[in-house]
Amino acid sequence: MTRLSCLCAAALSLATVSLSSPTGAQDWPARPIRIVTPLAAGGAVDLLVRAVGEEFSKNLKQQLVIENRPGAAGTLAAATVQRADPDGYTLVLGSPQTHYIAPLLTKSVSYDPLTDFTPLTVAGELPLCLLVHKSVPVNNLKEFIAYAKANPGKLSYGSSGTHTTHHLAGEYFKAATGLEMTHVPYRGGSPAMTDLLAGQIPVLFATLSTTLQYIDSGNIKVLGMIEATRSPTRPEIPTIGEVVPGFAMPRTWLGFLGPAGIPADLKRKMHADLVRAIEAPDVRKTLTVAGFEVVTSKSPEAFADEIKAGLDQYRRIVRDAHLEAQ
């Protein structure tokens, strides 16, 4: 081979390596960014993606493409991003459903929630609460537990569906208190709330923001929050853990993740740009009105630590509730 041929071959080899290597922070973004969401268009979660995405796109001066891929408990969307190149151009909106519940309770999940993604930041939280119909003769959680123990097996609780955060909150509550309650799964939170208001079910685990108007009108009673801390929007509502020592569910977050392997400098830039978009005043207002508690992660590593801790806790919940993967 001639010297010129060697130089050409070396140049081609370097070009190939360059093209196949992940994008560096200094070059990103050079083309449109795709965010894959596990839910259909419309609704509060889709609103979050679009509100944050619009600000994100404006700040970066680059087009954003939002791809709705509902189905399979959110795993279709997550698996799509798992298989993408770690170049910063494909993100997923993850949640406890995609990163805790589905990996533990769905046999067909093809990804590892800890090793197959690059966590970037939480964007919002939807706290959950325990509600009862106004006819239930209790005014607080302590009275409810006593009433349920005095009437074993007579109470049922509703949720937005089997193997949802609402369902697991109910099973965890039963395990922590020793109560006997029958689970009644619904196809979404709205029909479950309709039956609670009508008195068809006495107890419901639901998203706080969707229930406030009914709590304020006196049609239902809220007994406690399932998370470790009180909601900043309704600090007067106690946590279940204040009555049941040690009870606390991981927070119900929504956050952005990329595929595993995003370079460290690009990961830090993406985190900073996403946080900037989430915390923009107009975005914060839009999300707050829609019922989100706007929160962000201090760093990608902090978000990764939260996911690991949450997954460990959900493992214990699934074990204690004797739930099996399907």
Residue-level pLDDT at 42: 79
d(CA 122, CA 202): 33
Tell me what the mean pLDDT of segment 125-129 comes to. 96
d(CA 325, CA 31): 40
Match domain 28-125+252-320 to its CATH number in 3.90.1300.10, 3.40.190.150, 3.90.79.10, 3.40.50.2300. Answer: 3.40.190.150
Nearest CA to 253 out of 298, 206, 310, 189 is that of 310
CATH 3.90.550.10 assigned to domain 128-242? The reply is: no
Nearest CA to 171 out of 95, 242, 105, 127 is that of 105
Name the burial class of residue 153, with classes exposed (0-12), middle (13-18) and buried (19+) by CB atoms within 10 angstroms of its CB. Answer: exposed
Query: Measured between alpha carbons, how far is residue 299 from residues 144, 179, 270, 274 in Å?
Result: 40, 40, 10, 11
| Residue range(s) in the chain whose domain bears CATH number 3.40.190.150 | 28-125+252-320
d(CA 25, CA 275): 16
Question: What digits encode the pLDDT tens for the residues 273-303?
Answer: 999 999 999 999 999 999 999 999 999 999 9
Question: What digits encode the pLDDT tens for the residues 164-203?
Answer: 999 999 999 999 999 999 999 999 999 999 999 999 999 9
| Residue range(s) in the chain whose domain bears CATH number 3.40.190.10 | 128-242
